[in-house]
Amino acid sequence: MGPPISKPPPGPSSGPPTRKPRSGRPKVVLGLLDEGQEFQRLQAEDARSAAAEGGVDVEVLYAENNAVVQIQQLYQVVHAPADRRPSVVIVETVAGEGLERLARTAVRAGIGWILLNRRVAYLDELRHQQPKLPIGMMGSDNLEIGRIQGRQFQALVPDGGLVLYIRGPADTSAAHDRLAGAEQVCGRRIDLKILEGQWTEASGEEALSQWLHLNQFQTSPPRLIGCQNDAMAVGARRALEAYAAKYPSLAKIPITGVDGLPDSGRRHVDKGTLAATVVTPSNTGPAIRLVFQTLQGRATFPREQLLTPSSYPDLADLAAR
């Protein structure tokens, strides 16, 4: 998290005026993780569509899944000349702590600050300091995502056993909540073995390859591999197929993921590459629509708003399979 940050004295409740670029339209800067991830590209497309509907300009920045790159990108945005600053920054941070220093600087400059899928405590203070600015968190209900995935595990391995569970970065609230939700549902019959990933295909492949390299599967074969997103699940499938050339029984182990995009997760389920996924809606379109309403004075941006996920296939259909 870095060294302690001194807290600035509370400013006036009205805060600095919301700035607009020279075009006269509100501008939103959207910071995303990595253009190589399909869900991140979907978020960008959803943001552009919502911005066009509301008469908002949007600039998308990809951080290459690198926290330093993201800090540099948003530092330039927040410290730009007043007439070039955005009205709001919406960001899915690479680092789990949510870029607190930049958030405080942005809000002091009259820039709204909205996190995607990051639950952090400092938002409460910023909302108190500048109640008229859009400040909050928009995200998927990650606890419910975990619960749904846990129910998928129960449907796929009703008699229980070892489940290898590849999670995203441990310092992120999304990874923490998804694991907590899965643990709430799985109970004692399912033994979750946590492997570490970074939301990418390569990390999913590496995490499973490292576990398989230990040859523990010969004495403790996993019944299922669950991944906290579809990208890691696809990578895990590659690792499994590589080892299945020598150990054919590995090819039969089902794999599940999360995101459920039509052209990736759901397509892999339809093909049989994945056993199931959890469909999570894009966060950016709803966030930008709420930003527009807030800037117009027609709404107050909520402290936290969670979007509802769903199982693919339906849990009843999955159990029937």
pLDDT tens by residue, 207-221 = 999 999 999 898 999
Grade residue 36 by pLDDT with cuts at 50, 70 and 90: confident
For the whole model, what pTM was predicted? 0.81
| Residue 321 pLDDT level (bands cut at 50, 70, 90) | confident
Give the pLDDT of residue 96. 82
Would you state the pLDDT for residue 320? 81
Confidence check: pLDDT of 10 > 60: no
User: Could you tell me what percent of the chain has a pLDDT over 90?
Assistant: 83
Instruction: Work out the average pLDDT over 6-32.
Output: 59
pLDDT of the residue at 16: 42
246 confidence band (pLDDT: 50, 70, 90)? very high
Confidence at 37, pLDDT banded by 50, 70, 90? confident
Q: Over the chain, what is the mean pLDDT?
A: 91
Region 173-193: what's the mean pLDDT?
95
Q: What percent of the chain has pLDDT over 70?
A: 93
What pLDDT score was predicted for residue 23? 55
Instruction: Give the residue-averaged pLDDT of 175-192.
Output: 95
Domains, the chain, in order of start with CATH, read 27-140+282-307 (3.40.50.2300), 142-280+313-320 (3.40.50.2300)
Residues 167-175, mean pLDDT to the nearest whole number: 92
Between 188 and 284, residue with greater pLDDT: 284
Q: When comparing pLDDT for 137 and 218, which is higher?
A: 137
pLDDT at 19 over 60: no
Closest C-alpha among 95, 96, 180, 174 to residue 139: 174
State residue 12's pLDDT score. 36
Q: How far apart are CA 103 and CA 99, in angstroms?
A: 6
**Angstrom distance (rounded) from CA 200 to CA 266:** 17
Token reading at 10: 């509370």
Q: Give me the mean pLDDT over the 92-118 stretch.
A: 95
- Stretch 304-312: mean pLDDT, rounded? 96
Is pLDDT above 60 for 205?
A: yes
Pick from 11-15, 71-75, 88-92, 245-249: least confident: 11-15
pLDDT at 2 over 60: no
Report, as an integer, the average pLDDT of 102-115.
97
- At residue 252, does pLDDT exceed 50? yes
Does residue 142 surpass a pLDDT of 50?
A: yes
